[in-house]
Amino acid sequence: MTTSDLASTMQRSWHRFLETLEPLRPELYRYSRFLTRSPWDAEDLVQDTLMRGFATLARMGGQEPANPRLWLFRIATNLWIDEMRRRRDLPVEAPRPEIASTTEPRAPREAAGTLLVKLSPQERAAVVLKDVFELSLEETAEALGTTVGGIKAALHRGRGKLADETVPDQETAPVPGVLDAFCRAYNSGDLDRLTSLLLDSSVVEVVGATTQYGPEAARRTVLAGMLFGSRRLAAGVGIDARFTKGALPEPPRCEPRLHRGRWLLVHWYKHADGEAVRAITTLELDGDRIARLANYFYTPDFLPDLGTELGVPVKINGYRWWLPEAP
C-alpha cells in the first residue's frame, strides 16, 4: 500500500467516524461549553475529543463503545482535566495591559448559570452531567470513570460552589495593522495580497476539515475557498442543501471584532433575506505577518454560540465538508 492509498483509506474511515457520531455532536459541544465556559475552548475541546476518540477506537480491537455518548463525555472530561493540570503547572504570566471597556450590554447568560473557576474539574464535570444533562449517578460515574460514591462526594462539594456569572463586557482596542490589511485584501478579492500576508512557515486551517502549511498550499485551498466559496455555496455544490437556501454568489466581506481579549474576523455572506455571518477567522501574528490562521466554517454549534455573544445573525454550514458517498 502506498502513502496515497493509506491517506485515502484513513480519510474514508475518518468520514465514516464523523458521520456515525454526528447526532451526538451538539450535546458534546454543550457539555464542553459548560466545562470550559468559553465558546473558543469548547470548540477546541470538541475537535480534540473527536480526534482522540478516532485514535482510541482504532486500538479497541474492533469493539464498539457500549454507550458512545458517555464514551465521548469521558474522553472530553479527561482531556479537559489534563488541560487544567497543564495550565496549573505553567508559570504565571505577567499581567496583560488593561483594555478599555465599552458600554455595550453584556452577552446573555448561560441558561443554567456557569460554574466558578474555584470548582475543581471533577466537581464541575459531575455537577454538569448530573444536574444539567440529567444523567443517573451510575451513568455519571461511568462517564467520569469513577464510582457512584465518588460522584456523590463530588456533587456534595460542587453544588455548594455554584454561582451565576456573566460573560465579560466587550472590549475596545486599536485594530492591529495586519488585520486591517487582511480585511482590505479580502474585501477587494485580492488573493495575491492575502497570500503575501502569510509567513513562509504559516499554518492555515479550516477547523475540523483541513490544515495547510505554507502560503502557496493555503492559497490554492483555504484562502481561495474563503474568497470565492460563496459561488459554490449559492450553487449548492459540495455542501448539504439544507444549509444553502437563499445564499447568493456575491463575495463575502469581513470585519474585525475584539471578543474576550482576542481579535477575530467576522465573515458576512449575502442572502436573499439579508447578510448573515457564516464563518469566523482568528489570526496569530508575528510582527506584520500572519503565523497561523484558523477559519471556523464547519462548526454549527460554535458559530451560533459565538454569534449570540457578538450580537450578530448567523447561518450555519453543517459539520461536513464532503457529501456522503452514494450507496
- Residues of the chain with pLDDT > 90: what percent? 62
Rounded to two decimals, the pTM is 0.84
C-alpha cell of residue 114:
456557569
Question: What region, left, alpha or beta, does residue 319 occupy, with left being phi > 0 and alpha being psi -120 to 50 degrees?
Answer: alpha
Residue 27 DSSP class = H
At residue 286 the predicted structure's pLDDT band, cuts being 50, 70 and 90, is: very high
- Would you say residue 81 has pLDDT above 80? yes
Looking at residue 132, its pLDDT comes to 84
Gap between the Cα atoms of 229 and 224, Å rounded: 7
Radius of gyration, alpha carbons of the chain: 21
Whether the predicted pLDDT of 106 surpasses 70: no
Q: What confidence tens digit (pLDDT) does each residue in 117-170 have?
A: 456 788 888 888 988 888 999 999 988 888 999 888 888 887 766 554 444 555
Residue 115's pLDDT is what?
Answer: 39
pLDDT band at 96 (very low <50, low <70, confident <90, very high): very low
What string of DSSP letters covers 58-113?
A: HTSTTPPPSSHHHHHHHHHHHHHHHHHHHHHHSPPPPPPPP--B--PPPPPPPTT-
Cβ–Cβ under 8 Å, residues 203 and 175: no
Which pLDDT value is given to residue 113? Answer: 40
Class of domain 177-310: alpha beta
Q: At a CB cut-off of 8 Å and minimum separation 6, what does 222 contact?
A: 204, 205, 206, 210, 212, 293, 295
CATH no. of 3-90+113-159:
1.20.140.160
Strand partners, 324: none
Residue ranges of the domains in the chain? 3-90+113-159, 177-310
pLDDT at 124: 83
Q: How far, CA to CA in Å, does 177 sit from each of 180, 197, 285?
A: 5, 11, 10
Average pLDDT, the chain: 86
Q: At what angle do helices 302-310 and 39-58 cross, to 10 degrees?
A: 170
